[in-house]
Amino acid sequence: MRITRIRLYEVRLPLVHRFRTSSHSKASLDHILVELTDEAGAVGWGEIASPAGPFYCSETTGTAWAVAVDFLVPRVLGAVWDRPEDAEQSWAAIRGHEFAKAGFAGAGWDLWSRQQGVALAAALGGTRARVRAGVSLGIEPTIDDLLTQVARQVAHGYHRVKLKIGPDWLLEPVRAVRTAHPDLDLHVDANAAFRPDEETIGRLAALDAYGLTMIEQPFGVRDFLGHARLQERIATPVCLDESVTDLDDLRTMIALRAGRVLNIKVSRMGGLTRARQAHDLAAAAGIPVWCGGMHEFGIGRAANVALSSLAGFSLPSDVSGSDKYYARDIVTPPVVARDGWVEVPTGPGIGHDVDRQWIQTNLLRAYDTAGSPRPTPTPIPRRPEERDLR
């Protein structure tokens, strides 16, 4: 196939509940949607789910837009390929910018699987008809607020609850949630907020008393040695997230025994192809995996559901229903979780239709190769609600 047209849409959707991590707080999300069209008029959709600010990683919505327009579009437009894996070779020389790449890779996979008349999950090799869903809860103003949020998600049937933690939000919230829900599959995520000193290791070791499924990314992105030392000292499995952006990172994690669980995020790893390769490598090493999320809109969330249908995803993934984050999603039907399970779509591609009208309603800027070869600069409304908390 040959790509003849590329359109980009930067869209803002408000969150139904403000979300706070150890580094920042947000009340809405700006993501970039990628629409690829081939010479037959078939369309595929992907999502660049990069954060707006450089807190989770160095990429932002702004850098992703620039890289997409200046470097990815020129390489993909007119490219001829047989399979999605081949299309990704067109941008192999570009270093980093995994979120931007993931959006184009996702659109390629969606387009190809639609042309083949198969579901994206089947195209990836998935075998599950439904996947277990977990939810991620941010840092709340009070313990009581947190307990209210946890109780709400448990009532909705979610199989796992992840709590965001930080140096000032650690033992007390975990103790409170565990006391209220003694049998809940519970894990915590620090987003690299801690320093790997002896005092911190002792504080994290105290979490062993609460039967957590894992402690996710307590230390810095490149600190494999610190994570390895922590894993030697505690019984709770360490899970790596931000540290693993490519397969070499995963091999380092395995060799150093820097963790016992892997969070595979499609966006962080540059797309579905590399995410699937990470799944295979982790399975060969006996490391359980789950699919993490970036509060994706329905396009990216549907791709996560498809990936989670692979056999090695043995832990609940961040594929909660659209209504967990958005009052109205950009896909129809929305992603739905019932009693903690999400059905894997069986229709071609991602298995959802894209609501173009809702995209236009929430559009910040757009770019179309059928028009000007360069985008017309568009001022983007500021996001005063997103605050750096450090």
Q: Looking at the structure, do residues 104 and 130 belong to the same domain, yes or no?
A: no
145 is a domain residue: yes
Count of domains for the chain:
2
Q: What is the mean pLDDT of residues 105-133?
A: 97
Q: In the predicted model, is pLDDT for residue 382 greater than 60?
A: no
pLDDT grade for 375, boundaries at 50, 70 and 90: very low
93 is a domain residue: yes
* Residue range(s) defining the domain that contains residue 105: 3-117+353-380
Global pTM? Answer: 0.91
Q: What is the mean pLDDT of residues 194-216?
A: 97
Q: Looking at the structure, do residues 191 and 263 belong to the same domain, yes or no?
A: yes
Q: Looking at the structure, do residues 88 and 220 belong to the same domain, yes or no?
A: no
Determine the number of helices (DSSP H) and then strands (DSSP E) in the chain.
13, 17
Please give the pLDDT value at position 19. 66
106 is a domain residue: yes
Q: Looking at the structure, do residues 271 and 325 belong to the same domain, yes or no?
A: yes
Please give the pLDDT value at position 306. 98
Question: Which of 67-71, 325-329, 345-349, 373-377 is predicted least confidently?
Answer: 373-377
101 as an active site residue: the answer is no
Q: Looking at the structure, do residues 266 and 366 belong to the same domain, yes or no?
A: no
Lookup: tokens for 90:
């067109």
Q: Is the dihedral of CA 237, 317, 10, 93 positive or negative?
A: positive
Q: Looking at the structure, do residues 12 and 130 belong to the same domain, yes or no?
A: no
Please give the pLDDT value at position 22. 56
Q: Looking at the structure, do residues 51 and 156 belong to the same domain, yes or no?
A: no
Please give the pLDDT value at position 70. 97
Please give the pLDDT value at position 25. 67
The single residue of 26, 101, 162, 265 carrying the catalytic annotation is 265
For residue 281, give the nearest of 328, 249, 303 by alpha carbon.
249
CA distances from 351 to 49, 299, 344 (A): 19, 10, 9
389 is a domain residue: no
Task: Provide the mean pLDDT of the chain.
Answer: 92
Q: Looking at the structure, do residues 266 and 218 belong to the same domain, yes or no?
A: yes
Please give the pLDDT value at position 374. 52
Please give the pLDDT value at position 52. 85
Q: In the predicted model, is pLDDT for residue 257 greater than 80?
A: yes
**Domain holding 239: CATH number?**
3.20.20.120
Q: In the predicted model, is pLDDT for residue 317 greater than 60?
A: yes
Q: In the predicted model, is pLDDT for residue 324 greater than 90?
A: no
Q: What is the mean pLDDT of residues 8-36?
A: 84
388 is a domain residue: no
pLDDT grade for 361, boundaries at 50, 70 and 90: very high
Give per-residue pLDDT as tens, 227-253: 999 999 999 999 999 999 999 999 999
**Domain holding 84: CATH number?**
3.30.390.10
For residue 216, give the nearest of 272, 159, 265 by alpha carbon.
265
386 is a domain residue: no
Q: Looking at the structure, do residues 18 and 136 belong to the same domain, yes or no?
A: no
127 is a domain residue: yes
Question: Which of 109-113, 202-206, 371-375 is predicted least confidently?
Answer: 371-375
Residue 270: is it exposed, middle or buried by C-beta count within 10 angstroms (0-12/13-18/19+)?
Answer: buried
Q: Looking at the structure, do residues 300 and 313 belong to the same domain, yes or no?
A: yes
Q: Looking at the structure, do residues 257 and 319 belong to the same domain, yes or no?
A: yes
238 is a domain residue: yes
* Residue 299 contacts residue 337 (beta carbons within 8 Å): no
Q: What is the mean pLDDT of residues 300-308?
A: 97
The single residue of 26, 101, 162, 164 carrying the catalytic annotation is 164
Q: What is the mean pLDDT of residues 212-221?
A: 97
Q: Looking at the structure, do residues 163 and 80 belong to the same domain, yes or no?
A: no
CA distances from 55 to 32, 60, 305, 306, 317 (A): 18, 9, 25, 27, 22
